[in-house]
Copies of this chain bind each other. A is one copy, B any other.
Amino acid sequence: MLINGVPENRIGIQDRGLLYGDGVFRTLCVEQGRPLHWAHHYRKLHQDCAALDLPCPEAALLAAELGQLSVRQPDGIAKIIITRGTGERGYAPPASPAPVRILSISPSPVFPEAYRKQGVRLRLCDLHLSHQPRLAGIKHLNRLENVLAAAEWRDPDIAEGLLLDMDGNVIEGTRSNLFLVRNGILFTPDLSRCGVAGVQRERVMRYASSHSMACTTGCFTLDDVLAADEVFLVNSVIGLWPVCQLQGRNWSHYPVSHQIAEWLSHESTD
């Protein structure tokens, strides 16, 4: 682990990342020392920092530090956290923040191979996401909603939880973005009021655009999900998982999902 470039695994308790969740983060795969889809991840990190008026470290600096960490751990999951660092007492951010960057690479989790091929069971979460347009889309450190949602089940056969918003619109998984396929068209929830707009979601939308496949962003209900021909989840760690079960509805054929999964895993990794 590196904190501001120095091997270190602890941060000061006055850091605003701890005190207020005042920061953003990224989770991405590193393969043979190479951070996958780095340009996408850095662009998103930069956007998220900008949304919180947080200076973002240079891409070259972060890439060099990831390279340093990957000497010991060439394959794994990299996490990059940028906090606003320390400041005076109170919520108001310092006029000239000195952001803190925390980088680590840990071993990749192992998921059953069936998740990619036969799909995963999804549960509907009781927690409904709140609407906060000022924070929507950003992968910030205020993740208590995700924690509460993920605490709702312990059944290891359920791979992910589906989150609706306060109005009953489908938004995302607790740690993944969601797509529906119907009549060959892709649909994904609008994330302008809540949710995290992940890099793999963006890549799927780019896939659609480059393959003349319509992809519509909008408001969808649980009924829309249950009526879909295919439903799939994406994030940078899991890749793409088709959904095989939700609320008594079963799916077993995933032609579009598998086609997109193939493209996602083979497309240029930069």
> Which residues of A come within 8 Å of B, CB atoms?
1, 3, 9-22, 25, 52-53, 77, 81, 83, 89-93, 95, 102, 104, 106, 109, 127, 130-132, 134-135, 140-151, 154, 166, 174-175
Contacts and interface: CB of A to CB of B under 8 A. Distances in A.
Contacts of A95: 154
Contacts of A15: 18
16 contacts: A10-B13, A17-B18, A18-B83, A20-B142, A20-B147, A21-B144, A52-B144, A90-B150, A91-B174, A92-B150, A93-B147, A95-B154, A131-B131, A131-B166, A142-B143, A142-B144
A141 B21 contact: yes
- Copies held by the complex: 2
Contacts of A154: 92, 95
Contacts of A90: 150, 175
A104 to B, nearest CB: 7
Nearest to A108: B89
A148 B131 contact: no
A201 to B, nearest CB: 18
B141 A18 contact: yes
A130 B127 contact: no
A131 B130 contact: yes
A145 B138 CA distance: 13
Contacts of A52: 144, 147-148
A139 B57 CA distance: 31
The 8 A-B pairs with the shortest beta carbon distances in the complex, nearest first, are A21-B21, A142-B142, A10-B10, A91-B150, A130-B130, A130-B132, A20-B143, A92-B150
A13 B141 CA distance: 13
A19 B141 contact: yes
A128 to B, nearest CB: 8
Contacts of A143: 19-22, 91, 142
Contacts of A134: 127, 145, 148
A183 to B, nearest CB: 34
A140 B135 contact: no
Given A19-B143, A20-B141, A131-B131, A81 B150 contact: no
Contacts of A104: 13
A147 B92 CA distance: 6
